[in-house]
Amino acid sequence: MKRVSGFLAGMAALCGSVAVMAADVSPEVVAGATTVDSAKAKELFDSGVVFVDVRSDKDWTAGRIPDAVHIELKKVFSEETLGAEVKKGDPVVLYCNGHSCMRSSKASAQAASWGFQTVYYYRDGFPAWKAAGYPTE
């Protein structure tokens, strides 16, 4: 009986860890935004759409998508700072560090709630961009 109890306790702890890990994964869909993959992000990049990097200053300094605008989510991102870079009717791509980063999903949701009409949520973010061999700076 002790073995069964120990096994069940271990399984409960494992399931709890999985639930915590799942909470650290960015959502696939953000209301008011269109989720794009790397190929679509590159197409938008090539057509001149503004990219906004909402990562930390340290991550921004380490590398980024060329010509991206840096508006750090936790300290700088606001309706005013985003609006200074892109009009509410113009398209914008928001990105961060991929599936384990919640910043671009939060920024995309906020931008949509502020009335930005064409918000692209690049969930795969900078790691996938770099892995695809696209230009970086």
C-alpha to C-alpha distance for 116 and 88, rounded to whole angstroms: 4
What does residue 106 show for φ and ψ, rounded to 5 degrees?
-65, -45
Instruction: Report the pLDDT value the prediction gives residue 53, as an integer from 0 to 100.
Output: 98
Please determine, for residue 51, whether its predicted confidence score (pLDDT) is greater than 90.
yes
Q: What is the mean pLDDT of residues 6-16?
A: 37
In the chain, the domains with their CATH numbers are 26-131 (3.40.250.10)
Please determine, for residue 1, whether its predicted confidence score (pLDDT) is greater than 70.
no
Q: With contact defined as beta carbons under 8 Å apart, do 71 and 56 qualify? A: no
And the tokens for 8?
């069940």
Instruction: Report the pLDDT value the prediction gives residue 30, as an integer from 0 to 100.
Output: 93
Residue 48 CB neighbours (<10 A): 8
Q: Is 122 helix (H, G, I), strand (E, B) or coil?
A: strand
- Tell me: the pLDDT tens digits for 60-118? 999 999 999 999 999 999 999 999 999 999 999 999 999 999 999 999 999 999 999 99
Instruction: Report the pLDDT value the prediction gives residue 81, as an integer from 0 to 100.
Output: 98
User: What angle (nearest 5°) sits at the alpha carbon of residue 134, between those of residues 129 and 137?
Assistant: 90
